[in-house]
Amino acid sequence: MSDEYRSLFELAPDAITVAGLDRRHVDCNEAACLLFGYSREELLGTRVDDLVDPDALPVDPVRLERLIGGNAVYKVRSLRRKDGGTFLGEVSSRLLPDGRALAIIRELDTDRLRAAHDEALEARVSVERLESLARLAGGVAHDFNNLFTVVAAQAELAQGGVDVPASLDAILEAVARGAELTAQLLTFTRQRAEGAEAHDLHALVRESLPMLRRVLGETVPIELDLSASAPHVRASRPAFEQVLGILAKNAKDASPRGGRVTLATRDASDESVLVSICDDGLGMSPEVRAHAFEPFFTTKPRPLGRGLGLSIVLGFARRAGGNVRLLSEAGEGTTVELTLPRTDAAPAKSAPPRPAREAPRAGGRVLFAEDDDAVRRTTARILRMAGFEVVEANSGQDALDRYLEDEAFDLLLTDVVMPGMDGVELAKTLLRRRPELPIVLVSGYTADLLDRASLPARVRLVGKPFRPDELLGALSQALGQAALTL
């Protein structure tokens, strides 16, 4: 080796070793001595295997063959120092013309490797999340575009005087379908208030039986096997019934020639109860099963399937503190198991109906806050047609200013989610000034606000979209009046 190359060899920051045909080291640089903890004299004469972690995998024969063929070979290996300590090393090897093996070794920073691995994993999760979001957005756009097509076409037919009642019926049906889809989306995104209470699980199941039999029809009978002990759970009754309905509908769709469904409960542990719905239908392939809980993933033709069902089931179980397991094989049927935590709380009892109080006066003066102009105009029209005097406000602050100018209002009707002062803050502000003021809140999603609102139980809530009779019914209850109609 010339003096020039010898200097490069010695001054190289990476460890460099040269091994003879007998795999014993015949040369090394200072970096190699520092890396492995040997003096030059000690390192020379050691075998290549002496520097390799004995618990590491043996040399790959394919790599060895490539090395013998004159190719450079790269490998990450667990290596051993003189004191027995091990480290992860990046090894690049090549045979020299005289048959000796040259190795360049660099110690890898395991913290950096771990960080890189974590970054790669996070990037993969982000990609999967974006793919799921894209599927969600695409599914929502597809379904709502269908609904908008129906509404626009039927409205134009009605404007032309073509079978107006049929067109209006079709528009109302499209709105109802849109409301159902919105409710599913809000449940999926955890923005819908569910009012979880302690319930007797077996009582919930039995009370759901008529609904389940309607969903399943005559060709798919349902059997009960309720064997769980002390089955008190904390859950929302409507959400639980929705989950059972989703699973029953899936079982029905998977049994086109009829079949049988078993709804069972059993003890999962001292702290949890297991609820399962089992069918003997078509089952799922591994590929379908892997994507079954993704939003808007469906194997059903639209409009039969939107792909939100099992996402909602999973969300319900996790919010209740439990989980879901899916067991299915193609041609072998499907079992969905929900694990729900037990509760020591006694099941809630239905509150007795509250007596209606005298109305302050017929009709009444309503302060109405809503930031969406179209919704505000439509709602105000409904109220005026029902005989109310309506003062409109386009924000919470605007409503408060109008109230401070003239407090002679019989009721506050307000949207919940508004920029600036929201409906809950507005309601609390007016209740501090006038505790007996009747209040009705309106919103499409309310869980985050109402959970921390601490408003009186007499405050009414109307969900969007609403029918005129639903809105007027809430106002009637808040005012203690007889039911109002247009």
Same domain, 179 and 219: no
What is the domain extent for residue 249?
197-341
Contact (Cβ atoms closer than 8 angstroms) between residue 342 and residue 271 = yes
Per-residue pLDDT, averaged over 347-355, amounts to 51
Angle of helix 237-253 relative to helix 201-216, nearest 10 degrees? 40
Assigned domain for 448 exists: yes
Same domain, 18 and 52: yes
Same domain, 211 and 334: yes
Range with top average pLDDT, 54-68, 224-238, 472-486: 224-238
Assigned domain for 115 exists: no
Same domain, 305 and 391: no
What gap in Å lies between CA 247 and CA 216, rounded to an integer?
Answer: 10
Contact (Cβ atoms closer than 8 angstroms) between residue 396 and residue 424 = no
**Residue 1: partners with Cβ closer than 8 Å, 6 or more residues away:** 9
- Domain final residue pick, 188, 219, 242: 188
Same domain, 205 and 305: yes
Same domain, 74 and 103: yes
- Domain final residue pick, 138, 161, 188: 188
pLDDT of residue 403 exceeding 80, the answer is yes
The number of CA neighbours under 13 Å toward the Cβ of 218 is: 0
Assigned domain for 349 exists: no
Same domain, 174 and 205: no
- Domain final residue pick, 274, 309, 341: 341
> Nearest CA to 99 among 43, 14, 23?
23
Assigned domain for 355 exists: no
What gap in Å lies between CA 153 and CA 158, rounded to an integer?
Answer: 9
Q: CATH number of the domain that 79 lies in?
A: 3.30.450.20
Geometric angle at alpha carbon 460, from 346 and 392, rounded to 5°: 160
What gap in Å lies between CA 383 and CA 386, rounded to an integer?
Answer: 5
Q: CATH number of the domain that 325 lies in?
A: 3.30.565.10
pLDDT in tens, 42-67: 999 899 999 998 876 555 554 545 54
Same domain, 140 and 213: no
Assigned domain for 8 exists: yes
pLDDT at 25: 95
C-alpha separations of 262 from 216, 223, 252, 311 in Å? 12, 5, 12, 22
3-state secondary structure of 449: helix
Assigned domain for 346 exists: no
What gap in Å lies between CA 380 and CA 406, rounded to an integer?
Answer: 19
Same domain, 369 and 252: no
Assigned domain for 137 exists: yes
Strands 222-226 and 101-107: unpaired
What gap in Å lies between CA 483 and CA 15, rounded to an integer?
Answer: 89
pLDDT in tens, 322-348: 999 999 999 999 999 999 998 887 775
pLDDT at 113: 65
pLDDT of residue 70 exceeding 60, the answer is no
Same domain, 224 and 141: no
Q: CATH number of the domain that 436 lies in?
A: 3.40.50.2300
Per-residue pLDDT, averaged over 233-241, amounts to 83
pLDDT in tens, 444-455: 765 545 555 677
Same domain, 181 and 204: no
Assigned domain for 419 exists: yes
Total structural domains within the chain: 4
pLDDT in tens, 6-31: 888 988 899 999 999 899 999 999 99
Same domain, 382 and 465: yes
pLDDT of residue 124 exceeding 50, the answer is yes
Task: Provide, for the chain, the percentages of residues in helix, strand and coil under a 3-state DSSP scheme, each rounded to the nearest 5.
Answer: 45, 20, 35
Q: Identify the weakest region by mean pLDDT among 55-59, 170-174, 258-262, 328-332.
A: 55-59
Mean pLDDT of the chain: 82
